Amino acid sequence: MISIFYKIILFLCLGLFSIVASAQNVKQKLNDRADRASDRALDNLEESLFSTKIKLPAKKAKEKNNVPAKQNEEYDDFLFSENSEQLISENLTFNENRSLQSYSNYDFIMGTSILFAEDFSRAKLGDLPDGWNTSSTLEVVELSTYSGKWLKLGKGQTNFTPLAFGKIPDDFTLEFDLVLDVDGQKFAPGTRMFGVILNDLPDASINLGNRRAGDHWIYLGFSGDRKQMEKRWKKSEFNEFNATPLPLLSKSNLQRGDKVRVSLWKSKNRVRLYFNEEKVYDIVQAQYQDKPYQSLKFFSDQANEGEFFYVSNIRIGDAPPVIKSDLEEKGIFEATGIYFETGSASIKPESYPSLKQISDFMKQHGGSFSIAGHTDNVGDSESNRLLSEQRANAVRNSLIKDFGVNTNQLASRGYGLWYPIYSNNTPEGRAKNRRVDIINLDIVPNYEERLAKAVGTL
């Protein structure tokens, strides 16, 4: 009986010891887990303090793209999971997943002569870029999702203009990229605006902070989830205002971090505005005939803390080229309206109208053509040569595959940085040198010889 009693006591002691040991083990695991969490938090804090790039959040996949939505995504401004940059590249959104054919009704072609170009590549991060005037603060930043440098616009109203551009021509083209780092589910009436303002003042810096400055002006852009046009003339009977819902900016489509390609084409009194492939405005009587617009500025208005616009890749050119005339008479067409992804031979869909007109001429005219790829002087010689060759070949393949040009009509070659017919010391010159030339060999059989003469190497 006593032995049974001692056995019970021994069993209880062993059980108690096991419970204490387990509890200590659990406590140690909790401490270890807390330490790891603390380390991760410190790592994230260090990364956010010392990273030079602003991280845009991962985007939800759209059902129309048949990509399953990821679970437990974070939508904080700067902190997100380690693989979120990969998710961004995988989940192309409503605004980014575009085919060449989706631009078949798009008729904007950038002017061949680049009058102004700005990608902020030579600006210091965190600083106001040289050559710009602003009514508020501006700074240049880098983004994790998109390459290059960007002008950051935060809360409040900001008007800004390029100082070097001067008076706008009566006919010109404008294009730029705009990233919307905003919450698509939140809208405030009359705020979250971005657009372009043309007015009759001789200098855009005059009364820069007032977006309604001048006797005659027009604003073209968006406000909230609507496209917006406002025209004000001294004779008020000609004033106009329009604000219409735009699917691109709707709650069901807009995602934080979406990028929009904005294009504007002014032809005398007529002004057209495009968001991506869509022509959102075509104003026939946009300008007062007796007092034409003379200056251009950009306008931004953000109401919410933690929301931003980012702008880059700004180009202003002359009137759109007459491609048929250039190929038929000059024999060479500088195709500034053919676009590629940065550092890639992948053709952007907004290249459609240029490719379509080029292919139409080739099929109607017959004969032989050469496609020549060129780059600026950024990067090493061999990498530039390979890239220019790949881009020229990509254009050739697209003309054959997508537009039905006869294979035997086309040759292609890449020249890299060897024939800079414009100065590489300015953004405008570098933009002109990054080009694809289309050569009508019936008129210009000695293209390379002409290039050599142009740059003084022959």
Residue 246 contacts residue 222 (beta carbons within 8 Å): yes
Residue 88 sits at the vertex; the CA angle it makes with 86 and 89, to the nearest 5 degrees, is: 70
| Mean pLDDT score, 42-67 | 49
Predicted pLDDT of residue 100:
85
Predicted pLDDT of residue 71:
35
Residue 115 contacts residue 319 (beta carbons within 8 Å): no
Q: How far apart are the first and last CA of the chain?
A: 116
**Secondary structure (3-state) at 112:** coil
φ and ψ of 446, to 5 deg: -115, 50
Domains of the chain listed by start with CATH number? 2-90 (no CATH), 102-317 (2.60.120.200), 323-455 (3.30.1330.60)
How many Cβ atoms sit within 10 Å of the Cβ of residue 406?
12
Sign of the dihedral through C-alpha 290, 296, 297, 299: positive
How many Cβ atoms sit within 10 Å of the Cβ of residue 131?
13
The model's confidence at residue 23, banded by pLDDT at 50, 70 and 90, is very low
Per-residue pLDDT tens for 83-110? Answer: 322 322 333 333 344 678 889 889 999 9
Read off the DSSP letter of residue 347: B
Per-residue pLDDT tens for 316-375? Answer: 999 999 999 999 999 999 999 999 998 899 999 999 999 999 999 999 999 999 999 999
Per-residue pLDDT tens for 285-321? Answer: 999 888 899 999 999 999 888 999 999 999 999 999 9
DSSP string, 165-222: T-SPPSEEEEEEEEEEES-TT---TT-SEEEEEEES-SSTTTTTT-TT-SSSEEEEEE
